[in-house]
Homo-oligomer: A and B are copies of this chain.
Amino acid sequence: MVKREAQREQTASMEDYLEAVAMLRGKGKVVRVSQISRKLKVTMPSVTSALRKLSEQELVEHERYGHIKLTPEGDKVARDVLRRHKALTRFFAQALGINQETAEEDACKIEHVISPLSLERMIKFIEFIQACPLEEPNFPKRYKYYLEHGQLPKECLERSVRRGK
């Protein structure tokens, strides 16, 4: 069995910096310390300090006053954080009906601590309710009704009654 390169576990902070670089890079242009600083709401010295550490681990390339880019390894880590971020955001927004802003905020925190299993299940959950709407009005619709009115939609109540529950 091949021993896989031990991908060093990153702290929540370091994951945030890697993720920020990946996100900012997307928008054309060069990534700047000031942008990261604004995005993560930390001061520029904090960014410089973090980049130094990530450079030492060869996850980013960064030279004084120069460019900031992810190494292939750093890119791998950043992509994985982003994957978790997106899955969580989607789950909160689509499955739980949370507003986009709060969904993002929660995703930002939870992406650093959730287990691979739970994440996978959330992804599967979304896949499921999208692929299998169950009926019209479907599950998400009914759930939305329940959230908005504080009581079960009439179809559910009818069923309960019919089943003598």
Contact with B along A2-42 (1 / 0, CB 8 A): 00000000000000000000000000000000000000000
- A115 on the interface (CB 8 Å rule)? yes
Of all chain B residues, the one with the shortest Cβ separation from A114 is: B106
Q: Which A residues contact B (CB, under 8 angstroms)? A: 92, 95-99, 102-103, 105-106, 109-110, 113-115, 117-118, 121-122, 124-125, 128, 131-135, 139, 142-143, 146-147, 152-153, 156, 159-160
- What are 18 of the A-B contact pairs (CB < 8 Å)? A96-B121, A98-B118, A102-B115, A105-B115, A106-B113, A109-B114, A113-B113, A121-B147, A125-B143, A131-B152, A132-B146, A132-B153, A132-B156, A132-B160, A134-B134, A134-B142, A134-B156, A139-B139
